[in-house]
Structure 1
Amino acid sequence: MGDFNFRGDDQENIDQFNRLQKWIDVWTYLMDSHNHGYTFDTEINLMTKIHCKTSDRSRYDRIILLSQTIVPTDIQIIGNQSIDNQEHLHVFPSDHFGLTALFEKK
C-alpha cells in the first residue's frame, strides 16, 4: 500500500497494473466507478494547488492486495479535512490524502 504515484490513465501505469493481474486494487474492488477516490485533489486541498501550481485531481495512492485468505470490506480516504489553526488557513496534513482499509478472513 502507499503512494504509488500511479495515474490510471498513464500507459506506463496501465502496463504496471497488467503485470499485477492477480492483485486487486481495494478502491476499485469496493467502490463504484462514480467515486474516483482522488488522493491528490487541488479542488479540496488548496494548499497543494498553491504549492504545486497545478489543478490536478488523481488517485495516486492505493492499497493493493494479493491474498487467498483475506478480503477487503471497507476503504476510506483520510486526511482530507483541513487542520484547524488559529490563523484560519486551510492547512492539510499532506499534499496527498491517505487511505485506510478494513479486511476480514474468508
Structure 2
Amino acid sequence: MGDFNFSADDQENVDQFNKLPQWIDVWTSLMGSHNHGFTFDTETNLMIKSYCTKPERARYDRIILHSQTIIPVQINILGDQPVANEEQFQIFSSDHFGLTAVFQKKKID
C-alpha cells in the first residue's frame, strides 16, 4: 500500500503489475475501472499548480492486496478537501490524496 507513483498510462508500470497475477488493485476491484480515483489532481488540489505547470490527473497511489484470509469491502480517497484557506489559496495536507480501505476476514466454508 502506498505512494507508488504508478501511472496506468506508463506501459512499464502496467507490465510490472501484470507480473503479479494474484494481486488485486483494491480501487478497481471495488470501484470499477470507470471510476478513475485520481490521487493527484491539479483540478481539485489547486495548491500543486504552483509547481505543476500543466493540467494533470492520475491515480499514482494504490492499495494492492494478495491475501487468502481477508477481502476488501470499502475504499475511499482522503485528503481531497482543503484543510485551510489562506487569502484565495487552498491548503491541502499533501500534493497527493491518500487512500483508506476496510477489509474483512473471508468466511470459511
Question: What TM-score range do you get, normalising by the shorter chain?
Answer: over 0.9
Cross-structure match for 1:47: 47
Cα distance in 2 for partners of 1:54, 1:47 equals: 13
Q: Tell me the CA shift for residue 85 of structure 1.
A: 3.9
| Same amino acid, percent of matched pairs | 66
Structure 1 residue runs of 4 or more that deviate by more than 4 Å after TM superposition: none
TM-score by length of 2: 0.91
Counterparts of 1:1-106 in structure 2, within 5 Å, are: 1-85=1-85, 87-106=87-106
Query: How far apart are the structure 2 equivalents of 1:84 and 1:4?
Result: 27
Measure the CA separation in 1 of the matches of 2:10 and 2:20.
Answer: 16
Segments of structure 1 that go 5 or more residues without pairing to the other structure are: none
**Offset of 1:9 from its aligned partner?**
1.5
Deviations 1:11-58 (A, max 9, x none): 110111111111000000000232100000000001112222231100
Task: Give 1 or 2: higher strand fraction.
Answer: 2
> Counterparts of 2:54 and 2:61 in 1: how far apart (Å)?
18
Output the CA distance in 2 between the equivalents of 1:100 and 1:12: 26
Unaligned runs of 5+ in 2: none
Cα shift at 1:72: 0.1
